[in-house]
């Protein structure tokens, strides 16, 4: 039993949450500082409130009406 193979995205926008990125990425932030991903799938902050920016730390869930 196997379902049709769907192509797996490299980047996923999670509703109300972060952007998932697969593979090694280097992100340059607003201050020009570079951040290299350390895991096979990384979550990039989209709410702007993460204390671990540019990575997601789950803070979006503390914002009212996040989803």
Tell me how far apart the alpha carbons of residues 1 and 8 are, in angstroms, rounded to a whole number: 19
Tell me how far apart the alpha carbons of residues 9 and 34 are, in angstroms, rounded to a whole number: 24
**Binding pattern to another protein, positions 10-49, x when CB under 8 A?**
--x-x--xx-x------------------xxxxx------
CA distances from 6 to 2, 10, 28, 47 (A): 11, 13, 31, 29
Q: Quote the least distance from Cβ 27 to another protein, whole Å.
A: 13
Which residue ranges make up the site for another protein (CB under 8 A)? 1-3, 5-6, 8, 12, 14, 17-18, 20, 39-43, 51-52, 55-59, 61-62, 67
């Amino acid at each position: 039993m196997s379902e049709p193979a769907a192509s797996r995205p490299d980047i996923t926008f999670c509703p109300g949450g972060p952007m998932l990125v697969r593979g090694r990425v280097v992100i340059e932030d607003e201050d020009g500082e570079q951040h290299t991903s350390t895991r096979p799938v990384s979550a990039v902050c989209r709410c702007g409130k993460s204390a671990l920016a540019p990575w997601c730390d789950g803070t979006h869930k503390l914002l009212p009406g996040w989803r």
